[in-house]
Amino acid sequence: MTPENPTTPPPSQITGGCLCASIRYTIRFPTASSWPPYCSSCQCTQCRKALGSLHPIALTIPLANLAFHFQNRDKDKTADDETEEEDKAGKDTEGNTLLRRYESSPGCERTFCARCGSSLTFRNFKAMPETLELWVGTLDEEVLIGRAAAAGGGDGDAQVGGEVERQGGYGSVLCDVKETLFWGHRIDGVTDGGSGARGKKWSGMIGVGESFV
């Protein structure tokens, strides 16, 4: 695998979506200061259950810089389907889409795809009304690890057991964790190292409760 080039210029936008591609999104970076987006990790039980990951990593995205693109839920999905609807992240209606919302705690909302189950975002309306947390694992493969450089390109996941040369990718920049939430829920020897141990560590939400570092 080709490592990321630190001199690669910042992108003007990046893309991602759910597993079945019924829900897609675009994150735009209108100014130099908006790249890279702020990155944090969470070890709370709710995030673990919602994502099936021991310490999920999220990007803090201003609502103004994020747009969702939806496939009509009544339309059978094909690879050639055009985007049916577009929605700004802050809009409160689902419309005729597969986006579902779940209030996991008072004032906090999680979104996911009703078809494939992919968790997409977390939002705390009171603490961070102008931003939401977007799960980094939903970013497109070429955004995280680069585009396959082999003839014809293609999805590296399709080459089971193999490794392909890649070009580009922003994973190491996007996943540079600055703060970890709910550090008291860490699993010693499992989630207290790597990305789960970077930056400032909080007993609760960022800026709330005891700071361990």
Burial label for 118, CB within 10 Å (0-12, 13-18, 19+), is: buried
Give pTM, 2 decimals: 0.81
Give residue 58's identity as a one-letter amino acid code: A
Burial label for 36, CB within 10 Å (0-12, 13-18, 19+), is: middle
The per-residue pLDDT for 92 is 41
The per-residue pLDDT for 101 is 96
> To which H or E segment does residue 171 belong?
helix 171-174
The per-residue pLDDT for 163 is 77
DSSP label at residue 200? E
Residue ranges of the chain with per-residue pLDDT less than 70:
1-7, 73-95, 150-162, 196, 206-213
Name the nearest CA neighbour of 58 among 185, 212, 182, 178.
Answer: 178
DSSP secondary structure of 37-103: PEEEEE--HHHHHHHT-SS-EEEEEEGGGEEEEE--TTS---TTPPP-EEEETT-----SSSEEEEE
Distance, CA of 4 to CA of 168 (rounded, Å): 6
Collapse the DSSP code of 19 into the 3-class scheme (helix H, G, I; strand E, B; otherwise coil) and give the result.
Answer: coil
Structural domains in the chain? 36-61+99-201 (2.170.150)
Burial label for 116, CB within 10 Å (0-12, 13-18, 19+), is: middle
Q: What b/e readout covers 131-170, taking b as 16+ CB neighbours within 10 angstroms?
A: bbbbbbebbebbbbbbbbeeeeeeebeeeeeeebebeebb
> To which H or E segment does residue 193 belong?
none
φ, ψ (nearest 5 deg) of residue 143 = -70, -45
φ, ψ (nearest 5 deg) of residue 14 = -135, 160
The per-residue pLDDT for 135 is 98
